[in-house]
Amino acid sequence: QQQVKQSPQSLIVQKGGISIINCAYENTAFDYFPWYQQFPGKGPALLIAIRPDVSEKKEGRFTISFNKSAKQFSLHIMDSQPGDSATYFCAASKGTGANNLFFGTGTRLTVIP
Amino acid sequence: NAGVTQTPKFQVLKTGQSMTLQCAQDMNHNSMYWYRQDPGMGLRLIYYSASEGTTDKGEVPNGYNVSRLNKREFSLRLESAAPSQTSVYFCASRTGVGNTIYFGEGSWLTVV
């Protein structure tokens, strides 16, 4: 059973456009929601993370929007660039133990020039 | 600063063969993890070690064993490889504070 559901599976965006990736979860005990970015042939790397006490977190062109009542969170990439082409994973966990970090199935983003 | 280093990068095994994936981290992290990544499945936890001397099963431990050799090293062993274990394996580590996990670059394993 997938603890975190991620969509879309793949996404193609024009350079300069906005990329939006969505995730949903069921377990209300989750209290940490990170996004990881993975380039081909590399391991995932933490991009940005949010806790449920805020509805939005922004770091440069990357923004997480969090809707606690709907149990959904999303990643927005503003002014998307070809260098943003990668696979993005959302994840969720409860407590501080990373043994309980559940990942979404990933979104392959392609930004075309 | 190498971070998390995995070896080998690529490996082809025959069904029934055994092998060990090696992992080392130089960040003085307490916790270490092994994940597998399969198309459409995301990352799934195989085993983890919260601290030196302890190991615990994750979501998909069947067919694997692990050893936390010391604080730096955490190995994953396949005793009798099966085609279902064809995957990309990632080792990761985490500091004792916060939830950021640092991943290695992956080991591509094919079992034929």
**Which pLDDT does position B98 carry in this prediction?**
67
Structure tokens at B62: 């069947």
pLDDT tens readout for residues B73-110: 999 999 999 999 999 999 999 876 667 889 999 999 99
pLDDT of residue B31 exceeding 80: yes
- Alpha carbon B86 to chain centroid distance? 14
pLDDT of residue B39 exceeding 90: no
Contact B43 A45 (CB under 8 A): no
| Over residues A41-46, mean pLDDT | 94
Question: Between B43, B50, B104, which is nearest A103 by CB?
Answer: B43
**Which pLDDT does position B97 carry in this prediction?**
64
Neighbour-count burial of A11, counting CB atoms closer than 10 A to its CB (0-12 exposed, 13-18 middle, 19+ buried): middle
**Which pLDDT does position A94 carry in this prediction?**
82
Closest-CA distance, A3 to chain B, in angstroms, reads 11
Q: Percent of chain A having pLDDT more than 90?
A: 82
Closest-CA distance, B40 to chain A, in angstroms, reads 5
Structure tokens at B63: 């067919």
Judged by average pLDDT, the poorest of A49-53, A82-86, B94-98 is: B94-98
**Which pLDDT does position A96 carry in this prediction?**
64
pLDDT of residue A98 exceeding 60: no
Contacting B residues, span 8-27, partner chain A, CB-CB under 8 Å = none
Interchain contact B58–A (C-beta under 8 A): yes
Residue with tokens 């062109």: A61
Contact B50 A45 (CB under 8 A): no
pLDDT of residue A67 exceeding 90: yes
Contact A42 B106 (CB under 8 A): yes
**Which pLDDT does position A99 carry in this prediction?**
65
**Which pLDDT does position B91 carry in this prediction?**
97
Cα B7 from Cα B24, distance rounded (Å): 9
Contact B56 A99 (CB under 8 A): yes
The answer to whether the beta carbons of residues B3 and A68 sit under 8 Å apart is no
Question: Between A34, A93, A105, which is nearest B42 by CB?
Answer: A105
Q: Which residues of B are less than 8 Å from A44 in CB distance?
A: 43, 90, 103
Closest alpha carbon within chain A to B103: A43
Whether the bond into A40 is cis, omega within 30 of 0? no
Contact B90 A44 (CB under 8 A): yes
Whether the bond into A113 is cis, omega within 30 of 0? no
| Over residues A91-95, mean pLDDT | 85
